[in-house]
Amino acid sequence: MEKLENIHPNRQVIAFIFMMVLVQVCSEPTTRYSIWEESESGSFVAHLAKDLGLGSGELAARSARVVSDDYKQRLLLDSETGDLLLREKVDREELCGSVDPCVLTFQLSLEKPVQYFQGELLIQDINDHAPEFPEGEMLLNIPENSLPGTLLPLNLAQDLDVGSNGLQQYTVSPNSHFHVLTRNNSEGKKYPELVQDRALDREEQAELSLTLTALDGGSPPRSGTALVRILIVDINDNAPEFVNSPYEVQVLESSPPDSPVLTVLARDADAGNYGSVSYGLFQASDEIQKTFSINKVTGEIRLKKELDFEKIKSYHVKIEATDGGGLSGKGSVVVEVLDVNDNAPELTMSSLTSSVPENAPETVISIFRVGDRDSGENGKVVCSIPESLPFTLKSTFKNFYTLVTDSPLDRESRAEYNITITVSDLGTPRLTTQHTITVQVSDVNDNAPAFTQTSYTLFILESNSPALHIGTISATDSDSGSNAHITYSLLPPQDPQLALTSLISINPDNGQLFALRALDYEALQSFEFRVSATDQGSPTLSSQALVHVLVLDDNDNAPFVLYPLQNASVPCTELLPRAAEPGYLVTKVVAVDRDSGQNAWLSFQLLKATEPGLFSVWAHNGEVRTTRLLSERDVPKHRLLLLVKDNGDPPRSASVMLQVLLVDGFSQPYLPLPEVAPDPTQEVEDALTVYLVIALASVSSLFLLSVVLFVGVKLCRRARTASPGGCSVPEELFPGHMVDVSGTGTLSHNYQYEVCLTGDSGTGEFKFLKPMIPNLLVQDAGRELKENLHCRDSFVIS
């Protein structure tokens, strides 16, 4: 196994002279190698990488492929070492038959860039076959009047070997009548020819038996023998002659077995048995005997098997006509096989890439070779793929094609392509071969995650439990694999005062949002933040979405009573003149609720009273009024228990305890006016008067509240001085966070008044001071109340 010019003549001297003809195949010469037949599988042929000037690793990197011209993979290329090896044992006789030299042509294809090298492998013959005669015995009829020097051609022996290992000479056993000569026929084959040395005498010897030996030129030589029986017959001076010789006939390769080819005819001028002619094949090879048969009587030649134009295009059949006297005439028949389109085109895949990255144009998908064993128009092929696919075929070298991408692919539009390669010949009818390859489009991170919504609005009820799932945001990525694996994260809020990480957390895998702690609607009604969705591609892509969180109010705050202030020991006291008319405003319960909406809607209810029918409370504003005139029989001291309830679910409530004292001479809250007949001319003035009266009534109500507060403080101080169990007056203002809601809460006025009480026990003084804004701070209001507690005025209540 070495190159032809370096073959060592270890077995015999072999004279092979090759003229190195430079054939330009893609700018590369043809490289020739040789190997002995019957070499074992895996035998070394050549170091191909070294001969081509390529590195051993370069073959693997460039996807080297070796393809043989006989459509069978008889060679194997080791891409790592660069060695060319035999894939299987090679039989020269099976591969080439009698053709000499036996050359196996192969091509080496490389990618990146695409390049081709052509090579030839010479299969050298070894002497593994001995010559064989088609028949072990040959019979010759020689007339006794034949002259010395008569030549008698004999059937040749067959030796499958070629060259020096083939048939070289014939010998015959020693005798006094004949010797043998070795001749070459028109096809270059050696055949024996028996030469008569002396005259024959049938009466002396009627039959001769000779041993014919065929020898080849191997070392050691092999031989085959046949028995030649020579019968000396009486004189028959006319041999048969064929009417036409040579015969020529054309036969379609598609002709079935037993089809007639032609009928030959030979005539013999002799009469009787000497004129009777029989036909047979002469010097027929194994292939001829397997393919044709001849009728001995009629001379009709028929097919014994199907013909194959791609293997044998014509046959030269030698025929023989023998008369009854043993004389024979020779002829020949030339059978031309006509090609029919009986072979579909063949497609051999050299390389195939099953996965192609998207957005990569001009990517090589496959390299393949097409061919057709037929000839002429039947052997011409055209190759095509569907036009709708983003691929194109490029003819590169001889019958090699390269399938490449025609434009960038988009995996998100189509992730897989089934490409059908159609190869058709130009015969009639056309034969077609189809080969389908599947190409997967591998993903490139070219799509950022996309949220299902640009913004999300989530609702959460206050006083929630920690780690409560409040909602899920979702994003999708049209990529695949790690390029589509999305991780969610919170972005820093735009408001630096918002401690987002202490409020919200997000599951990075599925986008679920959780509230980390309980939220308080009264402290935080809403907030917003942005969420990022990032894939794991390279480079990473991301997108953002805005999340609005609205905290829903829960009825978690009970109503708080601003007025009257509730003391843990005794209720505060309100004064009621005995002369008060029905509907007289005794006091007004003022309460607020820190909740919102219907949770802050307050209603008032009188639960319990000393005299149930004397007082009533308005459900919506908390005003406590009398329902009838007072009488002397009414007790001077009344206790009222009021309930302030919100509209939540479930509702929350607070209770208020009031103490009302009936007094005489405190004031005249209601003075009836004389009835005056209406004057139509003074309607405008009357309307203004009504507005003034309403304003005065409002001021009077505030005044009465101040008086009640003053009297209550005075009485409580006296009771505290007289006994430890007396009532007490709160010494602090209302809590600073409980303020008027300016018409939407329970307060109907926008002013408060300060009350000062004298410190002595004899008289009480009342003074109007400046009005105060409802949302004064607790500290300022408390300080001003302490200052006013020490003032005295000239208004005395007896």
Instruction: Please give the pLDDT value at position 785.
Output: 32
Cα 622 to Cα 588: distance, rounded to the nearest angstrom: 5
Q: Which residue intervals of 464-522 are DSSP H helices?
A: 500-503
Could you count the other beta carbons within 10 Å of the beta carbon of residue 77? 21
Lowest mean pLDDT of 16-30, 259-273, 697-711, name the range: 16-30
Cα 230 to Cα 206: distance, rounded to the nearest angstrom: 8
| Pick from 172, 170, 173, 174: nearest CA to 183 | 170
Q: What is the pTM of this model?
A: 0.45
- Percentage of residues in the chain with pLDDT exceeding 70? 82
Cα 593 to Cα 652: distance, rounded to the nearest angstrom: 10
Instruction: Please give the pLDDT value at position 722.
Output: 55
Instruction: Please give the pLDDT value at position 377.
Output: 85
Give the residue-averaged pLDDT of 86-105.
79
Q: pLDDT tens digit string along 544-597?
A: 999 999 998 888 888 988 888 876 566 678 898 988 899 999 899 999 988 888
Kindly report the average pLDDT of the chain as a whole number: 79
| Pick from 433, 307, 413, 403: nearest CA to 359 | 413
Give the residue-averaged pLDDT of 204-214.
89
Write the CA distances from 276 to 268, 279, 293, 324, integer angstroms: 7, 10, 20, 5
Give the list of residues 6+ apart from residue 69 with CB closer than 8 angstroms, or none: 104, 105, 106, 107
| Pick from 710, 722, 721: nearest CA to 789 | 710
Residue 736 pLDDT grade (very low, low, confident, very high; cuts 50, 70, 90): very low
Give the list of residues 6+ apart from residue 773 with CB closer than 8 angstroms, or none: none
288 beta partners: none
CA atoms within 13 A on the CB side of 711: 20
Residue 180 has pLDDT above 90, yes or no: yes
Residue 185 has pLDDT above 60, yes or no: yes
Specify the 3-state DSSP secondary structure of 165.
Answer: helix
Q: pLDDT tens digit string along 41-77?
A: 778 888 877 777 777 677 777 877 888 777 677 787 7
**Residues 626, 582 contacting (CB under 8 angstroms):** yes
Residue 772 has pLDDT above 50, yes or no: no
Pick the residue with more confidence: 135 or 746?
135
Q: pLDDT tens digit string along 298-312?
A: 999 999 999 988 889
**Residues 757, 730 contacting (CB under 8 angstroms):** no
Cα 295 to Cα 261: distance, rounded to the nearest angstrom: 12
Write the CA distances from 542 to 358, 452, 492, 740, integer angstroms: 20, 14, 15, 49
Q: pLDDT tens digit string along 509-533?
A: 999 999 988 888 888 888 999 999 9
CA atoms within 13 A on the CB side of 167: 24
Query: For 663-707, what is the HEC assignment?
Result: ECCCCCCCCCCCCCCCCHHHHHHHHHHHHHHHHHHHHHHHHHHHH
Using the structure block, give the residue that is written with the tokens 């005395």: 796
Residue 10 has pLDDT above 80, yes or no: no
Give the residue-averaged pLDDT of 743-750.
36
| Pick from 623, 642, 638, 637: nearest CA to 583 | 623
706 — phi, psi (to 5°)? Answer: -65, -40
Instruction: Please give the pLDDT value at position 754.
Output: 37
Using the structure block, give the residue that is written with the tokens 């809601």: 741
Cα 542 to Cα 487: distance, rounded to the nearest angstrom: 9
Cα 486 to Cα 479: distance, rounded to the nearest angstrom: 11
CA atoms within 13 A on the CB side of 231: 10
Cα 798 to Cα 795: distance, rounded to the nearest angstrom: 10
Instruction: Please give the pLDDT value at position 748.
Output: 36
> What's the N-to-C CA distance of the chain in angstroms?
143
659 beta partners: 573, 639
249 beta partners: 335
Residue 141 has pLDDT above 50, yes or no: yes
Instruction: Please give the pLDDT value at position 569.
Output: 61
Residue 735 has pLDDT above 70, yes or no: no
Write the CA distances from 393 to 32, 371, 382, 401, 405, integer angstroms: 31, 16, 11, 6, 9
- Percentage of residues in the chain with pLDDT exceeding 90? 25
Q: Which residues of 682-695 are buried (b: 16+ CB within 10 A; e: fewer)?
A: eeeeeeeeeeeeee
692 — phi, psi (to 5°)? Answer: -65, -40
Residue 782 pLDDT grade (very low, low, confident, very high; cuts 50, 70, 90): very low
Query: For 97-155, what is the HEC assignment?
Result: CCCCCEEEEEEEEECCCCEEEEEEEEEECCCCCCCECCCCEEEEEEECCCCCCCEEECC
Cα 229 to Cα 208: distance, rounded to the nearest angstrom: 6
Tokens read off for 144: 């006794």
| Pick from 258, 298, 262, 268: nearest CA to 280 | 298
Residue 35 pLDDT grade (very low, low, confident, very high; cuts 50, 70, 90): confident
Instruction: Please give the pLDDT value at position 730.
Output: 39
Instruction: Please give the pLDDT value at position 292.
Output: 95
Instruction: Please give the pLDDT value at position 685.
Output: 56
Cα 277 to Cα 321: distance, rounded to the nearest angstrom: 6
> What is the chain's alpha carbon radius of gyration, rounded to the nearest angstrom?
63
Q: In what order do the strands lie in the sheet with 416-425?
A: 355-357, 432-442, 416-425, 381-384
Pick the residue with more confidence: 773 or 247?
247
**Residues 201, 224 contacting (CB under 8 angstroms):** no
Instruction: Please give the pLDDT value at position 383.
Output: 92
